[in-house]
């Protein structure tokens, strides 16, 4: 049967074959399919199976990571630590972007913390102020901390910096865990390139090299800087992943480490440094739930004590029983 009326070919024409291939087929009971919609057509996709790692640090939920049972644990360690350090770096950059949009680039170290007149008395001059000028001009807005030069970009350029920081912050936030969206190394690199692109739009001549928002092409691919590793970051060689209070070895595949070959496995792993030891176990209930339970039982105890008073037995009967 032809899809187009009036087709005289015995086996159908190319139009009929293309139309039949483009039609979505219904899901089967034995082979379930997932229906996704695009702007112009409908496609059927095979269900994607993966091992999902919910990475935590202590009781704090961080991000989700997708892998497979055949993946090497060395690659998993590298990816997890890269995402962990990349999140820290992006969070710090987003904070610096907010300061950059308010008070302009950072001044040289010898001029930071000085009063407005002290820099002139010491004959200090910021040589990067005129070189790294914002596109569209700037507005005076002195930094109360005395760290930045006080040249705030225009409102339009300020919005470019804030929008880029907000997009990057949302992409790595803990809300993505609730939305079941996993992070990956290419995504972290893409977010760093996004922030770098925003700085090039606002500052076409670039930022001073001593500014925390200064990013090069090579720096966007290096997630763990020396400053991050000295504070909260963990290097790939010193990182340790724990599952059910058991250290996951770097040798072998994921299926061997988790003792499971199921591609739909979902586990919680905790990341620590080599010198930290195993993480402490999480409490069964939170402090807030514990406080609510104590208030409930206290209220219930007060209700039971306020009942009708039971009359005491007569004195004669009490003496007779005691004798």
What span, in angstroms and rounded, lies between the C-alpha atoms of 214 and 230? 19
CA distance 100 to 198: 12
pLDDT of residue 30: 32
Q: Determine the pLDDT at residue 123.
A: 73
Tens of pLDDT, residues 58-89: 888 999 999 999 999 999 999 999 999 999 99
pLDDT of residue 143: 84
**179-205 burial string, b = 16+ CB within 10 Å, else e?**
eeebbebeebbebbebbbebbeebbee
Kindly state the average pLDDT of the residues 166-194: 92
Task: Name the pLDDT band for 45 (thresholds 50, 70, 90).
Answer: very low
Q: Is-above-0.75 flag for pTM?
A: no
Largest separation between any pair of C-alpha atoms in the chain: 118
The whole-number pLDDT of residue 33 equals: 36
Q: What is the pLDDT of residue 290?
A: 83
pLDDT tens-place string over residues 233-266 = 788 788 889 998 888 988 989 989 888 888 888 9
Give mean pLDDT, residues 108-117: 75
Instruction: Give tens-digit pLDDT for 210-241.
Output: 888 888 777 777 766 666 666 677 887 888 89
50 or 27, which is more confident: 50
Q: From residue 244, how far is each of 2, 94, 248 by CA, in Å? A: 60, 34, 10
Strand partners, 152: 139
How far apart CA 213 and CA 165 sit, in angstroms, is 11
- Determine the average pLDDT of the residues in 197-212: 89
Residues 6+ positions from 20 with CB-CB distance below 8 Å: 3, 12
Confidence grade of residue 98 (pLDDT, cut at 50, 70, 90):
very high
pLDDT reported for residue 120: 67
- Say which residue, 6 or 165, is predicted with more confidence: 165
């Amino acid at each position: 049967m032809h899809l187009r009326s009036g087709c005289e070919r015995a086996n159908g024409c190319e139009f009929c074959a293309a139309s039949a291939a483009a039609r979505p087929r219904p899901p089967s009971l034995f082979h379930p399919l997932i229906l996704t919609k695009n702007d112009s057509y409908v496609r059927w996709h095979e269900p994607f199976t993966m091992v999902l790692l919910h990475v935590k640090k202590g009781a704090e939920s961080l991000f989700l990571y997708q892998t497979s049972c055949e993946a090497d644990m060395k690659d998993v360690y590298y990816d997890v630590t890269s995402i962990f350090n990349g999140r820290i770096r992006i969070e710090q950059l987003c904070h610096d972007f907010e300061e950059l949009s308010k008070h302009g680039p950072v001044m040289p170290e010898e001029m930071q913390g000085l009063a407005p007149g002290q820099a002139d008395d010491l004959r200090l001059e910021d040589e990067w102020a005129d070189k790294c000028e914002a596109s569209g001009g700037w507005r005076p807005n002195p930094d109360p901390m005395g760290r930045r030069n006080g040249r705030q970009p225009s409102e339009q350029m300020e919005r470019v910096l804030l929008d880029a920081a907000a997009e990057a912050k949302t992409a790595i936030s803990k809300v993505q865990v609730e939305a079941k969206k996993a992070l990956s190394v290419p995504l972290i690199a893409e977010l760093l390139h996004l922030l770098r692109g925003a700085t090039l739009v606002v500052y076409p001549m670039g930022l001073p090299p001593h500014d925390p928002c200064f990013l090069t092409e090579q720096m966007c691919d290096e997630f763990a800087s020396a400053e991050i590793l000295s504070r909260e970051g963990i290097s790939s060689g010193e990182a340790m992943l724990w599952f059910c209070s058991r250290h996951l070895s770097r040798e072998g595949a994921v299926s061997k480490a988790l003792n499971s070959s199921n591609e739909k496995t979902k586990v919680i792993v905790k990341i620590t440094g080599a010198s930290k030891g195993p993480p402490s176990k999480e409490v069964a209930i939170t402090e807030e739930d514990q406080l609510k339970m104590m208030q409930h039982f206290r209220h219930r105890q007060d209700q039971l004590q306020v009942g009708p008073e039971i009359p005491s037995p007569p004195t004669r009967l009490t003496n007779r029983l005691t004798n």
